[in-house]
Amino acid sequence: MSKKIFVTDTILRDAHQSLLATRMRTEDMLPICDKLDKVGYWSLEVWGGATFDACVRFLKEDPWERLRQLRAALPNTRLQMLLRGQNLLGYRHYSDDVVKAFVAKAAVNGIDVFRIFDAMNDVRNLRVAIEAVKAAGKHAQGTIAYTTSPVHTTEAFVAQAKQMEAMGCDSVAIKDMAGLLTPYATGELVKALKAQISLPIFIHSHDTAGLAAMCQLKAIENGAEHIDTAISSFAWGTSHPGTESMVAALKGSEYDTGLDLSLLQEIGMYFYAVRKKYHQFESEFTAVDTRVQVNQVPGGMISNLANQLKEQGALNRMSEVLAEIPRVREDLGYPPLVTPTSQIVGTQAFFNVLAGERYKTITNEVKLYLQGGYGKAPGVVNEQLRRQAIGNEELIDVRPADLLKPEMVKLRAEIGALAKSEEDVLTFAMFPDIGRKFLEERAAGTLSPEVLLPIPEAGGVTKASGEGVPTEFVIDVHGESYRVDITGVGVKAEGKRHFYLSIDGMPEEVVFEPLNEFVGGSASKRKQASEPGHVSTAMPGNIVDVLVAVGDVVKAGQSVLITEAMKMETEVQASIAGKVVTIHVIKGDRVNPGEILIEIEA
């Protein structure tokens, strides 16, 4: 009996999100679409996740236009997207009218299959998106965000899947974003799901720990019908099992996918060349890394944290932060670590380590989380911490979006004539700052995507040598001499610059990132806090808002500043009661720990 396995290829979304910081451009997708469309995939994942953000922020592409172009170029294949439930593609809960408008427009512009997840696995946050997908006549896929913890049992996941089936979902996906699944756990989970629900099961597993193909095979043997793969030049490691490998593995068995291996290999060669173009975005953490099986921290989150720690000049605290993450996660009732909870947990863990005292600073996002603002925690939260964080404020026990008023009218008014379509309004809704900037630059004709550095092997690197400028040096390190040649230098982009060197003939690439601009800048003129009335912050960061003015009388404990570090906001309180006499910062300033930001006189 044939139990044909259906394949979803992630090459146009998750594969490059996992390996190349989501940087693949539409111009590198379109030339191969004709071939992709002939493969016979069940679907191609092409949109959502971080693609929307990357398009607007870095590539200066209209994400809606990308979707329309892919739709036209892939007439015979289902197009799929990843949607963060009530968060859509942003980082907060949107009102229901925004969710409905977004899903309707995504459907009209070309999406057939919506994979919908919630970072808390709180199905209340999926409901409106599922209903909107069904109203548009499209495929609604309910998603289990897989994680491990004392409360994440097979029974709990099955119960969630049953709820999603009752809500009208057409299928269920097991989303193992971190590579936590093991083969036998997968087999057990799929078997239990198949026994209790009648929907097709999709398995989306990242190969971070090198286990994904084994997990998929066990899922298949236990009744899963669908697997997510990535064409091999963009597969494995933090990405997914290779399409060609899985097709070959199942060929001739009862699970044969029926896909043409030679056609897939041609597509693989095309993307092999494409990947080289984006070498500057290759993460150093894309190979197999089994640490997630010990510390439960997803690889993507580790690399993200590493970048942010580097920005804060605190990369040496990484192992302490990794040890603190599970403790914070336990305090928060074991949320799965996926956008946005991964950031919320990671940043709070970092603050706990850097401050030398746990929860001395609590981010606004952790407060909102403990209040119930993201939905119901999977487990029990630390009640003492909750009281400390939210004080006497009321708990939110309804679906968070029930508290939100309709927003579309307001959003349309705010963006005004810059929006040429409802899609533009939604772009602005997802990313108020960079979305507006994108629409402004588009109107002014000044959109300019970040620069792609030349491929070093191709020799297209700018020559560093100028007349009379030495580019060869002999240096001594511990008594040994090395010959260093500067062979080229890339264009400065995002504050970073690549230098190409050779050391004793061996090529080396160095990415030069200047230290944070605030070091040595005007900010360094601020004196160090020495008195109780000196308001300072424990974290380096940006001033988001100044809540007081000179002359104001404040109470001890009153919030006087909002700062932002690592995408999370923190309120800074006055430590004494008194009168504000001097304010040393304005909105947008970068500040360092211990500097006097505001002076209060008792």
Query: Using CB under 5 A as the criterion, which residues of the chain lie in contact with Mn ion when the complex forms?
Result: 14, 177
Q: Which is nearer to Mn ion, 174 or 390 (CB)?
A: 174
Q: Which is nearer to Mn ion, 174 or 177 (CB)?
A: 177
Q: Is the CB of residue 184 less than 8 Å from the CB of residue 214?
A: no
Give the Cα separation of 469 and 487 in Å (integer).
Answer: 13
Within 13 Å, how many C-alpha atoms sit on residue 522's CB side?
7
Look-up of token digits 């089994």: 290
Q: Give me the least distance between CB of 175 and Mn ion, in Å please.
A: 6
Q: Give me the least distance between CB of 338 and Mn ion, in Å please.
A: 9
Look-up of token digits 């290999």: 265
Q: Give me the least distance between CB of 144 and Mn ion, in Å please.
A: 13
Q: Which is nearer to Mn ion, 177 or 305 (CB)?
A: 177
> Is the torsion defined by CA of 316, 319, 325, 327 positive or negative?
negative
Helices 243-250 and 261-277 pack at an angle, to 10 degrees, of 160
Three-state DSSP at 203 gives: strand
Helices (H), 1-115: 14-19, 26-39, 51-54, 63-73, 96-109
Three-state DSSP at 340 gives: coil
Angle formed at CA 8 by CA 5 and CA 10, multiple of 5 degrees: 150
Q: Give me the least distance between CB of 246 and Mn ion, in Å please.
A: 16
Q: Give me the least distance between CB of 24 and Mn ion, in Å please.
A: 15
Q: Give me the least distance between CB of 202 and Mn ion, in Å please.
A: 12
Q: Which is nearer to Mn ion, 45 or 244 (CB)?
A: 45
Q: Give me the least distance between CB of 336 and Mn ion, in Å please.
A: 12
Written as six digits, the tokens of 49 are: 């996740």
Q: What are phi and psi of 96, to 5 degrees?
A: -60, -35
Angle formed at CA 584 by CA 582 and CA 588, multiple of 5 degrees: 140
User: In whole angstroms, what separates CA 365 from the centre of its chain?
Assistant: 16
Q: Which is nearer to Mn ion, 17 or 257 (CB)?
A: 17
Q: Give me the least distance between CB of 167 and Mn ion, in Å please.
A: 22
Query: Which residue from 110, 126, 208, 210 is spatially nearest to 173, judged by alpha carbons?
Result: 126
Q: Give me the least distance between CB of 455 and Mn ion, in Å please.
A: 27
* Measured CA distances, 194 to 171, 172, 202, 214, 256 (Å): 12, 10, 11, 19, 20
Q: Give me the least distance between CB of 173 and Mn ion, in Å please.
A: 10
Q: Give me the least distance between CB of 216 and Mn ion, in Å please.
A: 14
Q: Which is nearer to Mn ion, 83 or 177 (CB)?
A: 177
Give the Cα separation of 210 and 236 in Å (integer).
Answer: 8
Q: Which is nearer to Mn ion, 174 or 429 (CB)?
A: 174
Within 13 Å, how many C-alpha atoms sit on residue 149's CB side?
25
Q: What are phi and psi of 535, to 5 degrees?
A: -90, 125
Q: Which long-range contacts (CB under 8 A, 24 or more apart) does 217-220 make?
A: 217/183, 217/249, 218/183, 218/184, 218/186, 218/187, 218/190, 219/174, 219/186, 219/187, 219/190, 220/3, 220/5, 220/250, 220/255
Angle formed at CA 530 by CA 528 and CA 536, multiple of 5 degrees: 60
Q: Give me the least distance between CB of 83 and Mn ion, in Å please.
A: 13
Q: Looking at this protein, which amino acid is placed at residue 303?
A: S
Q: Which is nearer to Mn ion, 14 or 424 (CB)?
A: 14
Closest residue by beta carbon to Mn ion: 14
Q: Which is nearer to Mn ion, 14 or 28 (CB)?
A: 14
Q: Give me the least distance between CB of 451 and Mn ion, in Å please.
A: 28
Three-state DSSP at 235 gives: coil
416 CB contacts (<8 Å, ≥6 apart)?
none
